[in-house]
Structure 1
């Protein structure tokens, strides 16, 4: 059977770095994107140039029907998904918790927690039916530990939920040979900061990081790819912090 990884939010930033790195390890790489089809297409081309088949699919994966359609499309184009990276995420605008609108809370939880739960549920159901010993890596955040006061508390809360999901789900499916882990990045040089309203945030927070700098997307991708590999065959239920010492 071909080894096929699905990376949500794979068009840019950490997701793109994961997808490009996966080209050397997987037969097929599927990425999803929300709106930036141009960036997703550039990532798709880079993955194929590196030697793996790749498809880029516009899918938010916020509803069960969307999720099932996504897995069906990936299977039709590349083969059954054997590994899943729940990477897509949004923070909402930087600001005080009391100023966060209900719609923002709803969207942040939908993208960062509900979607990974739906995707994981669908993947595991398929793996149980077909006997695939799949792997899931959830992308959390150092915000789950620090709480992100004055910045994006709903995001931090959703990421804390991701880590609990990882721990509990790993125990539930370990006996079936399915592994579930997470990576918690520290501040990373991506455009998520601009989307939150502060493009210069990495420079502002770098001085608080013991290593004195923020991460590059590839440094986060390396941890994700290790957890997906056979080198991590006896690792499950863990959250690996990649934070520069925080």
Structure 2
């Protein structure tokens, strides 16, 4: 993670101290920044990863070096039963689950509609929809059993609002599902004291764009941002901490919080 914001200047929410937090896809990008942000607020963090063990270990080491608590949890979220296993592992390590951040996801690849295959469609939906549904079930069941509520934060995208860029329509549609379902889940789980919200990042400098967007595409996207720059993972962290904090956002649920430099204003 690029340290664009000094540790001393990053947001801290004191009521998150001691909370047990699971962040999926936390080895790089926004997930890594969010895991570190929770730790700086005193939360105990389960750093989930799939293939990037070394990067996840680096995140955990940075957390520990700053005096925080971090554990590693591995698993391919697209596999059957993975969500239950990952949540169970996090709870086994931390003792409970107070906050779940459903950050894992990805574009898979840019594909034109004429080239869609059934396998590609399944891959996009498995990575961006089905696994989030599974984590919603696993996380909410655990929180409900604990009996004292919790917070679930999903990750949508500005692509859910505008249909995505070239070759990214299915990814955008999957994120649209997440935004819509977040509102329904919020209503269903409100009685259990579980708040469900989503953060919708705009164009953020992460491995996502390093892999899927050319320099020309990045320049074109930047030209549509009123703040005239690409965002950083650190600049997304405050939104997650705010939505997790009962003291700061206890009356906030079913909301999609946009973090995009003014590129989209609902």
TM-score, normalization by structure 2: 0.87
Gaps of 5+ in 2: 1-16
Q: CA deviation at 1:228?
A: 0.6
Q: CA deviation at 1:170?
A: 0.1
1:234 and 2:256 matched? no
Gaps of 5+ in 1: none
2:185 aligns to what?
Answer: 169
Q: Are 1:97 and 1:150, in contact at CA under 8 Å, matched by a contact in 2?
A: no
After superposition, the Cα gap between the structure-2 partners of 1:70 and 1:217, relative to the gap in structure 1 and judged at 3 Å, is: same
2:261 aligns to what?
Answer: 244
1:123 and 2:139 matched? yes
TM-score, normalization by structure 1: 0.94
Aligned partner of residue 181 in structure 1, secondary structure: strand
User: Where do residues 51-66 of structure 1 align in structure 2 (5 Å cutoff)?
Assistant: 51-66=67-82
User: Residue deviations 1:202-234, cap 9 Å, x none?
Assistant: 333111112111110011121111111120111
User: Residue deviations 1:132-183, cap 9 Å, x none?
Assistant: 3110000100000010142300100000000111000000111221100001
48-57 vs 193-202, which moves further? 193-202
90-99 vs 52-61, which moves further? 90-99
Alignment partners' CA distance in 2, 1:201 and 1:54? 36
1:22 aligns to what?
Answer: 38
Q: Are 2:84 and 2:134, in contact at CA under 8 Å, matched by a contact in 1?
A: no
Q: CA deviation at 1:26?
A: 4.0
1:180 aligns to what?
Answer: 196
After superposition, the Cα gap between the structure-2 partners of 1:55 and 1:200, relative to the gap in structure 1 and judged at 3 Å, is: farther
193-202 vs 216-225, which moves further? 193-202
1:156 aligns to what?
Answer: 172
Aligned partner of residue 23 in structure 1, secondary structure: helix
1:142 aligns to what?
Answer: 158
Q: CA deviation at 1:70?
A: 1.2
1:68 aligns to what?
Answer: 84
Alignment partners' CA distance in 2, 1:2 and 1:69? 23
2:53 aligns to what?
Answer: 37
